[in-house]
């Protein structure tokens, strides 16, 4: 299977060639936890593995800790409960075999040992409870109930110090230690309720912190202390309250970020992280987050709707892109890590929790496909993405050698250096090797299936590529690295022109009859490029018809929809009988180049290669006598011939297809009109160039829809 997702390709004239040569062999960027934690909460792993859980990569059984490390993970997080007798009792109550406690010291010690063997750092999360601790519940351990405040303070110290000292004896001292879990209103209630006595809470926290410092003093590892607050909007008021109350000597502000419970936008996280780092002079880490990898049904449930972000409709690619986006936001703010919560949850086991057999809902937040033997998904590779702002070590793993050769077509001055920069260069400008006066190349290794934005630079200038090639701003290009050898063709101020094996050109035409078309135009939005977005402008070919041609892998399933205007509120709403997900259509790409006609807000599609005629002209069928543009084309009445008008200075007509190939070259001599037959042409977009003997005078883009 070709794993690459292909970009939209619609050609203009004047294609200046560059090519990408890709041969077998994938690069991953591995990061050191001291600079940035690429983490995962793996607390359930031992438990569910004991009860039959399995993880796979490429169909083969995989050790979860080793798998995590091999994909760039560098820190595993584990929760610790004081005496969770209930984790054994639930098996007895369910008539199952009860073998041990889980999430107690012995279980966590075993987990830390496995993580350390895999080369991972460890974040130990003291809940200071026998049960789950979060903003809604902070139950004091049963053994500490009834203690005086002083006794509780000392018990916190003794328990923390003994736990860490015992781990250290076996070389298992964690690199990071959390004092409590999501302690918005304190911990070890009722004594540690923030609202009741913030000074007492500070005393209790400082006692646990002192134990960490003292245990670390006799170890080669001195753990970093994390104070963990749920949701970004609660961070500032909490530390503004607790630092004056006496809280001191912690290293890292830890926060949970679940969009369903937060009003803070994903793309504002960097601002908050930078502000906290500057204000409190502490490092900042996101110690819990997650995102959906799929829907449990065909349409989102209420719980799923709460978790969904507009630009990340649930899918594996959306889950990965969400985590990449959040990670880059944290890095941009100067943060030091991200730890998604329980991504190694899978199905196919008999774990029993306080609410019975678990997993019916959390599986759609996992990094594993439980419908396919718990096969690891591409999401895990957000860990080794080439982020900007942190230093990664390039490691080879199923990588592709990528050579980008830029041909300037004589338009670039030879004595100036040409650079390439983007995610494929780790965000740095890299000078390209000079091949000739007008060509350069750059070679690197990239993960198969990885998505990269990049641009060329010459001096202080970036090439300004045509609109239909842009991803992001006017100078951003994109590639998706395939898993087999392939050659692309690119250029300065141009785009990719060489067809990719197993991919086809698909022309989407939407019939807008009966709709008041927005002045912003018509857009398409779908999961075409291993991501949901961007919304792509369609080309108007007449008042009622708009088209978009994409270059996509054949026989691939996609979801998409049309928009009458750019805003989310302008989405079409297909009838329920043909709707999938929220407001999406379902589409399978054909095995060969083809076009399809859709009707806005209506089910179904018509294959245009059986329609027998083009739907409408690129220009009005009748040109006004005083039209100032002397260059003109239109389809004649039978729609199989193009009528072309032009000034006498034109000496040759040239037509290029979407790949930049010359389809037709027709000399003309002192003529002002010509006819071009198009009955054998493939449906899609074309460019007509009007030339004289030395240069192009004018270009016109038009659509052929059979």
> Which ranges of 37-96 would DSSP assign to H, the alpha helix?
45-50, 64-70, 86-93
- Give the C-alpha separation, 635 to 702, whole Å: 10
Q: Say what angle helices 149-169 and 105-117 make with each other, to 10 degrees.
A: 40
Tokens representing 308 are 């969904």
| Residue from 175, 288, 304, 421 carrying the catalytic annotation | 288
Helix (H, G, I), strand (E, B), or coil: what is residue 380?
A: helix
For residues 469 and 440, the answer to whether their CB atoms sit within 8 Å is no
- Pick from 13, 9, 12, 16: nearest CA to 463: 16
| Residue from 70, 175, 182, 342 carrying the catalytic annotation | 182
Question: From the centroid of its chain, how far is CA 26?
Answer: 18
- Give the C-alpha separation, 557 to 506, whole Å: 13
697-702: long-range pairs with CB below 8 Å, 24+: 697/631, 697/647, 697/649, 697/650, 698/631, 698/646, 699/12, 699/13, 700/618, 700/631, 700/633, 701/12, 701/539, 701/618, 702/541, 702/618, 702/633, 702/642
Q: Are strands 477-480 and 536-537 parallel, antiparallel or unpaired?
A: unpaired
For residues 338 and 289, the answer to whether their CB atoms sit within 8 Å is yes
Question: From the centroid of its chain, how far is CA 294?
Answer: 14
The one-character DSSP state at 377 is: P
Alpha-carbon Rg for the chain in angstroms: 30
Residue 194's alpha-carbon distances to 134, 148, 191, in angstroms, are 14, 17, 9
Tokens representing 612 are 């027998």
- Pick from 59, 50, 56, 41: nearest CA to 91: 50
- Give the C-alpha separation, 167 to 124, whole Å: 11
Question: From the centroid of its chain, how far is CA 155?
Answer: 44
Any catalytic annotation for residue 97?
no
The residue length of the chain stands at 706
Any catalytic annotation for residue 569?
no
Residues with a known catalytic role:
182, 288
């Amino acid at each position: 299977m070709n794993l690459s997702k292909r970009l939209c390709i619609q050609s203009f004239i004047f294609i200046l060639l560059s090519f990408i040569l890709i041969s077998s062999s994938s690069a991953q960027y591995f990061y050191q936890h001291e600079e940035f934690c690429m983490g995962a909460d793996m607390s359930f792993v031992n438990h569910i593995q004991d009860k039959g859980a399995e993880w796979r990569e490429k169909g083969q059984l995989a050790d979860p800790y080793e798998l995590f490390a091999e994909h760039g993970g560098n820190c595993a997080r584990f929760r610790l409960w004081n005496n969770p007798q209930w984790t054994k009792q639930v098996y007895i109550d369910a008539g199952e075999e009860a073998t041990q406690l889980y999430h107690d010291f012995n279980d966590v010690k075993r987990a830390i040992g496995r993580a350390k063997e895999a080369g991972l750092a460890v974040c130990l999360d003291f809940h200071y409870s026998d049960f789950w601790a979060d903003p809604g519940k902070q139950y004091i351990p049963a053994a500490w109930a009834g203690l005086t405040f002083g006794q509780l303070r000392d018990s916190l110290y003794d328990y923390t110090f003994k736990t860490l000292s015992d781990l250290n004896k076996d070389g298992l001292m964690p690199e990071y230690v959390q004092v409590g879990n999501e302690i918005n209103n304190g911990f070890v209630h009722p004594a540690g309720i923030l609202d009741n006595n913030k000074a007492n809470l500070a005393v209790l926290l400082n006692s646990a912190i002192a134990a960490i410092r003292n245990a670390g003093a006799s170890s080669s590892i001195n753990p970093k202390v994390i104070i963990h607050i749920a949701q970004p909007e609660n961070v500032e008021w909490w530390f503004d309250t607790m630092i004056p109350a006496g809280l001191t000597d912690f290293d890292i502000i830890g926060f949970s970020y679940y969009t369903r419970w937060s009003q803070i936008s994903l793309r504002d996280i960097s601002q908050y992280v930078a502000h906290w780092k500057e204000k409190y002079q502490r490092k900042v880490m996101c110690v819990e987050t997650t995102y959906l990898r799929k829907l449990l049904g065909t349409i989102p449930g209420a719980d799923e709707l709460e978790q969904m972000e507009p630009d990340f409709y649930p899918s594996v690619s959306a889950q990965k892109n969400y985590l990449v986006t959040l990670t880059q936001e944290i890095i941009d703010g100067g943060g030091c890590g991200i730890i998604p919560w329980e991504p190694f949850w899978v199905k196919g086991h008999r774990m029993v929790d306080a609410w019975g057999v678990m997993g019916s809902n959390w599986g759609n937040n996992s990094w594993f496909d439980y419908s396919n033997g718990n096969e690891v998904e591409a999401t895990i590779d957000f860990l080794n993405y080439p982020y900007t702002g942190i230093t990664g070590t390039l490691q080879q793993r199923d990588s592709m050698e990528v050579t980008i050769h830029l041909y300037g077509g004589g338009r670039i001055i030879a004595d100036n250096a040409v650079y390439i920069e983007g995610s494929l260069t780790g965000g740095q400008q890299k000078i390209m090797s000079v091949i000739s006066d007008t060509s350069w190349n750059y070679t690197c290794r990239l993960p198969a299936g990885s998505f990269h934005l990049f641009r060329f630079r010459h001096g202080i200038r970036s090439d300004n590529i045509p609109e239909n090639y842009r991803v992001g701003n006017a100078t951003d290009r994109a590639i998706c690295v395939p898993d087999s050898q392939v050659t692309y063709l690119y250029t300065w101020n141009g785009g990719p022109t060489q067809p990719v094996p197993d991919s086809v050109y698909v022309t989407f035409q939407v019939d807008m009859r009966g709709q008041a078309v927005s002045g912003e135009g018509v857009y398409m939005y779908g999961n075409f490029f291993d991501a949901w977005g961007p919304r792509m402008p369609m080309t108007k070919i007449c008042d009622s018809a708009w088209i978009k041609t994409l270059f996509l892998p054949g026989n691939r399933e996609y979801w998409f929809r049309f928009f009458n205007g750019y805003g989310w509120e302008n989405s079409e709403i297909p009838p329920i009988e043909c709707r999938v997900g929220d407001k999406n259509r379902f589409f399978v790409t054909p095995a060969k180049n083809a076009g399809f006609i859709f009707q806005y807000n209506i089910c179904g599609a018509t294959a245009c290669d059986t329609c027998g005629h083009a739907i409408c002209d690129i220009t009005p069928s009748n040109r006004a006598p005083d039209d100032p543009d002397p260059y003109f084309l239109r389809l004649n009445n039978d729609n199989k011939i193009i009528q072309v008008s032009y000034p006498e200075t034109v000496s040759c007509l040239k037509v290029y297809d979407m790949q930049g190939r010359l389809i037709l070259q027709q000399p003309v001599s002192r003529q002002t009109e010509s006819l071009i037959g198009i009955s054998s042409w493939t449906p899609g977009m074309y460019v007509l160039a009007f030339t004289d003997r030395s240069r192009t005078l004018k270009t016109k883009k038009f659509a052929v829809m059979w």
